[in-house]
Amino acid sequence: MLALKQLKAKACRSIVDGPELNFKSGGLFLVGDNGTGKSSYVDAIEKVLTGKCSSLDTGDQGLSWDKQGKHISSKSPPEIQLVITDGNKDFSIALDTSFAALEKPVQALLSAARQFTPGKALVAYQ
């Protein structure tokens, strides 16, 4: 079973440059004041896995990843890298990684993630 191991983000939403998040088997707990980037990390993971950002790509009020995905003071586009592991091997996925360049297990994960619709129940079986 594939699991999220690490997230690096830069110039993404309210994340200027990190910090890098490392996910352990017990999970990860993000705590911080409003506007410090907690939701931006979730948006970054969602964007890489699904190709969408449900908090922005709604079409409401003119919001979109293309307009609001980049950090306001950054001149560069967002940089996001996920490391996924199966326990024996790590797979790296960046925001701009070609689907065809990924190994089959990661392609299967992304295909499943891209079928997910926010607001609907998601059930995972082990």
Residue 126 has pLDDT above 80, yes or no: no
Long-range contact set of residues 48-54: C-beta below 8 Å, sequence gap at least 24: 48/80, 48/82, 48/93, 48/94, 48/95, 49/82, 49/93, 49/109, 49/110, 49/113, 49/114, 50/113, 50/114, 50/116, 51/114, 54/118
Give the CATH class of 3-113.
Answer: alpha beta
Of 43-52, 54-63, 73-82, which gets the smallest average pLDDT?
A: 54-63
Return the domain boundaries, the chain: 3-113
What does the pLDDT read at residue 59? 67
